[in-house]
Structure 1
């Protein structure tokens, strides 16, 4: 059989990437970097694997428009670089928590937790990750199709934690029984969600429901629970927690929204600000001032309720809203807990909300550590990998140390949650969870942004400082672009500070932790 003949020019327009041969003839003029770089002497007709991965993410090769360019493979060679299969663990050191790493052990997690994690990762990689990319770029809310799939797997119900609301449900295809489900299982859900989603998408995937529903479950009347919870857990109705105002954030006692009793109704007037999922919520778990004190009401979207999107530093997929209540009539039966006892309702709810933020934040931080380890190993500078630079290894050491410290403290607190009932958690863990959230959000920003160090350590009065970022400096200019190699770093740098504010500002939570400790100081403790 006669072999097909190729001209020298055609051969020179082929490149090899990880044993695969690509014909770039028709693509050359579409290449964002221009045709010249494709046909340079160091690229054309040669193995360009190292050069390619110094410029592009692996996902580029997986796009249909590029897979069509592959015309063959190199005889005797096998593909060595491939994306993780759904459910598969990363083998990059510190990319996974110790309990998931091969050859390591944990006093907290069982084989059941490991099976659950595999199923959860598979679900989030296959169902949520593609949606996350679309929503982050478009700013549109999560699609009902994905919400329905989450509901079918009972992901929404599991994000609310262990409890009666799980009874009779098939959890993630039956991989765990409702009575066996604990906070480590729930933590896995949050971690896997954060691993495949941007910070905005984490919130957009019904975080408002996760923090707005527990007060209904714990303090709502049986009739109200029966009316709202089934639709919420099935993804047919959405709930938002409406506490913060322009007048008061962490200072819950300073809220100005009022509720005045009028027969069998409350008449609510006021505004709420920075409300996650507020633009599309059907119900609002709302903090109000009444004659007898702070009270929490469940307000249904209707006459007098208007919402307006707030533009923030992350994508509008989160549905962050400014809400106006204009003489809204709310049935007295929608009161959550006792009138005047709203502070207990909200404060007891904060523990779970803050713990959820912690779980997501640690997972996101660990993903950045993985990105930095990959990039610094494949990026060549002065003829050597970036990891040959001692300063880079020092940054990696700091990042790894921070995320491992966060992980271990988090697991210790989660274990305590599993041993305590709701009231015990409120009494004993509010302080530790507050301190942990402060610690986690600060380490996140140190990893994303760096720390300030005096430029002259010998001068105690020097006002100059050197700003030493970790992930951003490792990626350099690529960390400033929203696409390409450093896109996760850019997003993390831009949004990691959200965790320092949401669910309670850092300094407020640090003070809370210390005040809780001081309340329990023994009177006979002396130096």
Structure 2
């Protein structure tokens, strides 16, 4: 027996045609799907369970149009397997049970309870944030019974972003995502053995400290400096807008140890209890529970063993993690846009004006359609990038994907901004009140800039995307022209 829910999901096109013909406006398809359960007697004769034979009828989630990625809603995909479906189920249950109803209160208080970090560590989500390979040496085997890939990480960001809270997302894992990978990949064994286990298990927090009052995307302009004196670097300077800084135990600090420009930048791991480290929480427009911080380093003595990798290679190490960082931004921003779309659809199916639900007004359907086409197109690009990360060797991904991840970040945050604005127009005054029906829409409108500016502003990303893609095309042409000559030389 095929359930009514599955029938209406896979027969959506037939339903839209039927509703348009029988009621006179296309919007009725949405109203029926979301507000009223369908009975078999309501289906047109052309739709029968027999027609479903051989069709993909696997639906996950609430089934709202565009409320989840297409592969949740009975569409075929080349990317996901049973382990992804299993992980999706675990993440959704975890978010719904432990997080969703608490996010607003945590954001208002500006802090996430410590036990949530420990729970995130237990779930394995913190270890998943640092990219591949899975840190088995410092965490143990993945708790789900399989080795995760980048699509599992995409699912994690996507499902957790259903909360509609940048503050929660960056608060629970922001520092780990961008601050811990340099330690994982370039720290000494002694340093990794001491820092990695407590951070991936949620016992301690590591953050990334690059941005300064006068240096953001222009990393080469860093003023924070460290001078080697004997067995210690003496660190002086300031860092601003540092995610997780107020409650971090470790800071991955970009500082100048040599000549001007990017060649003089190194990475030091600074510990919060070192004398001369001062932190103060910053008051920002949004992301209140992320712990945005102003940090001052005043003659901080950092053991030279806390140098990550080699001196003068800091910029190179940061660049190695930029693709992964932007990937995380893209995954979160796209779901935040989808949250605005889904909440708008749900609200528009209930709210009535002038004797009609909002979704029955063409101007509202136009807004929904614009949001939907942007979200779906953007998510497809994101999945393509995820596939490249999954299948390319690390060096090839660094070489080829920098421009794509930069441009995709702009796309994702612009779509988030558009959807947040349009959702606010649909919700009206409810989108201007903290809490209540418009809670997520109100919050995401405040937090758009927290996704658009960090990790590379739109202007920098657009320029970088074009320059890198142009250079890559030139290199590819050179390689193609050189290949026949090299083959002939071997003969």
**Could you state the TM-score of these two structures normalised by the residue count of structure 2?**
0.81
3-state SS in 2 of match to 1:336: coil
1:240-389 correspondence runs (5 A): 240-292=207-259, 293-301=264-272, 302-389=274-361
Q: In the TM superposition, what is the alpha-carbon distance from 1:377 to its structure 2 partner? A: 1.2
Corresponding residue for 1:51? none
Q: In the TM superposition, what is the alpha-carbon distance from 1:303 to its structure 2 partner? A: 0.4
Asked if the contact 2:178–2:208 (Cα under 8 Å) also holds between the matched residues in 1, the reply is yes
The one of 192, 196, 202 aligned to 2:159 = 192
Partners in 1 of 2:325 and 2:246 — Cα distance? 20
The one of 423, 435, 456 aligned to 1:471 = 423
Partners in 2 of 1:96 and 1:315 — Cα distance? 24
Please tell me whether residue 177 in structure 1 is matched to residue 149 in structure 2: no
Corresponding residue for 1:447? 419
Partners in 1 of 2:313 and 2:307 — Cα distance? 10
Of structures 1 and 2, the one scoring higher in RCO (CA 8 A, sep 6+) is 2
Partners in 1 of 2:141 and 2:194 — Cα distance? 22
Corresponding residue for 2:458? 506
Higher percent of residues as helix: 2
The one of 479, 487, 496 aligned to 2:448 = 496
Q: CA offsets per residue over residues 177-236 of structure 1, 9 Å max, x none?
A: 12xx10000111111111125111111113112210000011111111111101111112
Q: In the TM superposition, what is the alpha-carbon distance from 1:374 to its structure 2 partner? A: 0.8
Corresponding residue for 1:125? 96
Q: CA offsets per residue over residues 66-111 of structure 1, 9 Å max, x none?
A: xxxxxxxxxxxxxxxxxxxxx961211100100111x211011112
Distance 1:166 1:365, change over 3 A: farther
Asked if the contact 2:287–2:447 (Cα under 8 Å) also holds between the matched residues in 1, the reply is no
Partners in 1 of 2:164 and 2:448 — Cα distance? 13
Partners in 2 of 1:389 and 1:490 — Cα distance? 23
Query: Which one has a bigger Cα radius of gyration?
Result: 1
Greater alpha carbon shift after TM alignment, 516-525 vs 342-351:
516-525
Q: CA offsets per residue over residues 3-56 of structure 1, 9 Å max, x none?
A: xxxxxxxxxxxxxxxxxxxxxxxxxxxxxxxxxxxxxxxxxxxxxxxxxxxxxx
Asked if the contact 1:305–1:328 (Cα under 8 Å) also holds between the matched residues in 2, the reply is yes
Asked if the contact 1:154–1:169 (Cα under 8 Å) also holds between the matched residues in 2, the reply is no
Distance 1:254 1:278, change over 3 A: same
Q: In the TM superposition, what is the alpha-carbon distance from 1:497 to its structure 2 partner? A: 2.3
Flag structure 2 segments of 5+ consecutive residues without an equivalent.
1-34, 36-58, 479-491
3-state SS in 1 of match to 2:202: coil
Q: CA offsets per residue over residues 379-434 of structure 1, 9 Å max, x none?
A: 11111111121111111110001100110000000000001232222111111000
Corresponding residue for 2:130? 160
Q: In the TM superposition, what is the alpha-carbon distance from 1:164 to its structure 2 partner? A: 4.2
3-state SS in 2 of match to 1:521: helix
Partners in 2 of 1:315 and 1:359 — Cα distance? 17
Greater alpha carbon shift after TM alignment, 514-523 vs 162-171:
162-171
The one of 180, 201, 205 aligned to 1:213 = 180
Corresponding residue for 1:148? 118
Distance 1:214 1:412, change over 3 A: same
Corresponding residue for 1:517? 469
Asked if the contact 2:129–2:173 (Cα under 8 Å) also holds between the matched residues in 1, the reply is no
3-state SS in 1 of match to 2:244: coil
3-state SS in 2 of match to 1:429: helix
3-state SS in 2 of match to 1:522: helix
Corresponding residue for 2:375? 403
Distance 1:399 1:350, change over 3 A: same
Asked if the contact 2:179–2:252 (Cα under 8 Å) also holds between the matched residues in 1, the reply is yes
Asked if the contact 1:133–1:197 (Cα under 8 Å) also holds between the matched residues in 2, the reply is no
Corresponding residue for 2:110? 139
1:85-96 correspondence runs (5 A): 89-96=61-68
Flag structure 1 segments of 5+ consecutive residues without an equivalent.
1-57, 59-86, 450-469
Corresponding residue for 1:416? 388
Q: In the TM superposition, what is the alpha-carbon distance from 1:169 to its structure 2 partner? A: 3.3
The count of residues paired between Structure 1 and Structure 2 equals 414
Q: In the TM superposition, what is the alpha-carbon distance from 1:316 to its structure 2 partner? A: 2.9
Asked if the contact 2:179–2:208 (Cα under 8 Å) also holds between the matched residues in 1, the reply is yes
